[in-house]
């Protein structure tokens, strides 16, 4: 299966992000906790450079808890702060602010020593579609959007959203899409909902999801779809047919595929992570 998904005008996106980075103190890079690497834009490391950054692992309630801890440790080893959150419920937001303050403490201390009055942290959030960027912004500003007006050097149309006296978020309507060469990344993004379903062959995504779940989370798959160990070992198309029958879809494999993808995507089959962290798990409990 090949997913055709073109990233658009990357050169324009690079230029726009570079210009906006000059206006902020810190970058909030939002990713899907189930895809800490695959849901990142590959050009961001180059663009952000030494700018302070917090990687926000959203939808952590859907991700494998142990893997999330491993990813936090992995990013820490790379010198990058990472915070798991559940934007939909507003959980973890204070931790994001705490990390941002910690990263900027030296800068703000220098400003204070020069007699510059304390001001709000200026941040920019970046994230691919469906990682929860809008939800994050709404939670930060608590749905009371206060536009603070154009800052010096800000081009017309770019607005700052204010959260009390602590945070000003640069509202960036342009969303960067990742550019990927590996078709596996496309499948992962499709399974988690980052690519519109009408661009996909849902039966292919369902088969991919079934394979992932039976490989890494077999007990969850067996429990959800009421299948035994022997049935779990069936060829993937046969497994799809079996689940279709058990759910009453008979030969309607299209509807069965949509159901399987939805139940995996929404966490009904259990928590899972598709990108596995390259760290030693025995060190996680110490992190």
59 annotated to a ligand binding site: yes
The residues, any chain, with a CB within 8 Å of residue 215's CB and separated by 6 or more, are: none
135 annotated to a ligand binding site: yes
132 annotated to a ligand binding site: yes
130 annotated to a ligand binding site: yes
DSSP single-letter state for residue 117: P
Q: Are 229 and 219 in contact (CB under 8 A)?
A: no
For residues 163 and 169, give the distance between their C-alpha atoms in angstroms, rounded to a whole number: 8
For residues 177 and 183, give the distance between their C-alpha atoms in angstroms, rounded to a whole number: 15
198 annotated to a ligand binding site: no
For residues 178 and 7, give the distance between their C-alpha atoms in angstroms, rounded to a whole number: 6
Q: Are 136 and 58 in contact (CB under 8 A)?
A: yes
How big, in percent rounded to 5, are the helix, strand and coil portions of the chain? 45, 15, 40
51 annotated to a ligand binding site: no
Q: Where are the alpha helices (DSSP H) in 86-201?
A: 93-113, 133-141, 183-192
Q: In what order do the strands lie in the sheet with 159-163?
A: 81-84, 53-58, 26-32, 121-126, 167-171, 159-163
The residues, any chain, with a CB within 8 Å of residue 110's CB and separated by 6 or more, are: none
> What count of residues does the chain have?
287
134 annotated to a ligand binding site: yes
> Token pair for residue 151?
């800052």
Annotated binding site for GTP: 58-61, 130-135, 174
Annotated binding site: 58-61, 130-135, 174
């Amino acid at each position: 299966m090949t997913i055709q998904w073109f990233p658009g005008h990357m050169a324009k996106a690079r230029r726009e992000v570079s210009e906006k980075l000059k206006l902020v103190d810190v970058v909030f890079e939002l990713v899907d906790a189930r895809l800490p690497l695959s849901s990142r834009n590959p050009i961001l490391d180059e663009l952000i450079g030494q700018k302070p950054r917090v990687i926000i692992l959203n939808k952590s309630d859907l991700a494998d808890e142990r893997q999330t801890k491993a990813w936090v440790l992995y990013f820490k080893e790379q010198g990058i702060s990472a915070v798991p959150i559940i934007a939909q419920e507003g959980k973890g937001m204070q931790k994001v602010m705490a990390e941002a303050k910690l990263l900027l403490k030296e800068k703000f201390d220098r400003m204070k020593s020069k007699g510059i009055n304390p001001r709000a942290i200026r941040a920019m959030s970046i994230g691919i579609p469906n990682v929860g960027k809008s939800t994050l912004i709404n939670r930060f500003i608590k749905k009371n959007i206060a536009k603070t007006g154009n800052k010096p050097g800000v081009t017309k149309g770019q607005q700052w959203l204010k959260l009390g006296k602590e945070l000003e978020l640069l509202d960036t309507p342009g969303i960067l899409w990742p550019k990927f060469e590996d078709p596996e990344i496309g499948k992962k993004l499709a399974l988690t909902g980052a690519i519109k379903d009408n661009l996909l062959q849902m039966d292919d995504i369902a088969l991919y999801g079934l394979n992932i779940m039976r490989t890494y989370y077999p007990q969850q798959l067996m429990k959800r779809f009421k299948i035994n160990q022997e049935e779990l070992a069936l060829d993937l198309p046969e497994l799809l047919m079996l689940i279709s029958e058990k759910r009453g879809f008979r030969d309607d494999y299209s509807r069965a595929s949509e159901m399987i993808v939805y139940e995996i995507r929404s966490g009904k089959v259990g928590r899972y992570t598709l990108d596995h962290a390259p760290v030693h798990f025995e060190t996680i409990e110490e992190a």
